[in-house]
Structures are given as structure tokens and as C-alpha cells.
A and B are shown apart, each in its own frame.
Chain A
Amino acid sequence: ILNVEQSPQSLHVQEGDSTNFTCSFPSSNFYALHWYRWETAKSPEALFVMTLNGDEKKKGRISATLNTKEGYSYLYIKGSQPEDSATYLCAFIRSNYQLIWGAGTKLIIKP
């Protein structure tokens, strides 16, 4: 793949349930992968940056994994809360420093 693809585009999850979604990127010329969280009417904010195959990062109930060989990263949210509702963006950085953004996964937590 030449682009960064995020799936699903949107996701409705019951409060308390856990969920995950995917960022797929070209497996060649990998340099780094960022995850950002973008709440409606606010600015995107950085969650994680990952650079090594097998990297796992965690911040509270949110964690991410990275597989550079097959070109994907998963973002996991454990025990979803209403404040987790946001669009989650990933950005792939190639070895020539080109940065390519995915279109995002919009997560809606139902109370």
C-alpha cells in the first residue's frame, strides 16, 4: 500500500467495553509512527510515537503496538469511557522524512 489507511472509519462502542482499531502503512522505508487523538472542536494531541518493530506504548487505558514488517499498528482502549470519544489519527513517517496521515477512526462511546 502507498497510503496510510485506518480502519474502521468509525466505531460505536458501549461504555465499559474494550476496543481496538488499525493503522496500516507501507512496510518499506519505515521511520516512525505517531498516534494522535482529536476531540471535536479541539486540536489534535499526540498520544504515542513508535519507532521500533514490536514497540508497545501505554498511557492509562490506551495502548498501542507496532509491526513494521507487516505495516500495521493497533490502538487499544480498555474499558471505554465517554471521554474517549474522539477521532484517532495515525501518521506514518518515511525514511525520507515524508509524513503521511491517515484519515482517522472516529470513536463514539455510547453510555
Chain B
Amino acid sequence: DIQMTQSPSSLSTSVGDRVTITCRASQSISSYLTWYQHKPGKAPQVLIYGASHLQTGVPSRFVGSGSGTDFTLTISSLQPEDFATYYCQQSYDIPGTFGQGTKLELK
């Protein structure tokens, strides 16, 4: 299985901050990388797919970059509704594997 390593696992941050989350694959996954936002009790939602494509309806403050093995999700100015857990996931190979998640908490 392709291992996805996400960092940090948690982050204390404030509204207005710029946040960067990284995800590293154990082998090249080209651009088959999706970022999800997950809030408790809710369905996870796609933010970014294909490493850098913004999902329809997602605010432009969410930016994805990278290819191969190293990927980044940047939130340019954190909003109150952005406090959630974020997951990366590779869909290059079966099984599609997820990172362990990054939980954004209010400082």
C-alpha cells in the first residue's frame, strides 16, 4: 500500500492566519491527490482534487499544490468555519489510502 504521511497532526491557529498542511506519499502518485475537510457528524467534503484543482463551490482561499510525492494544502486566511480536520488521500493505486489527518484548533 502507498503510505500517506500528513503533517502536522494538529495545529493551534487563529482566524486570519495562513495555514499550510503537507502530505507526502511513499511513492510517486502523479497528481492523484485529493484534500478533504471533515467536521464532526458531517459528511467529508472535497476541497482540492488532482492536487491543485479547486472543487466547485469551495472558496479560493484553499490552494493545493505539488505532484509526485510531495503535496501542500494552503489556507490563505483562516475563517471561523475552517476549523475542522483535513485529510489527504491518494487515488493513484488500490487501495486508495488516506493521511492520518490534521486537526485545526482555535488558539
User: Do the two chains belong together in a single complex?
Assistant: no
- A interface vs B, CB < 8 Å? none
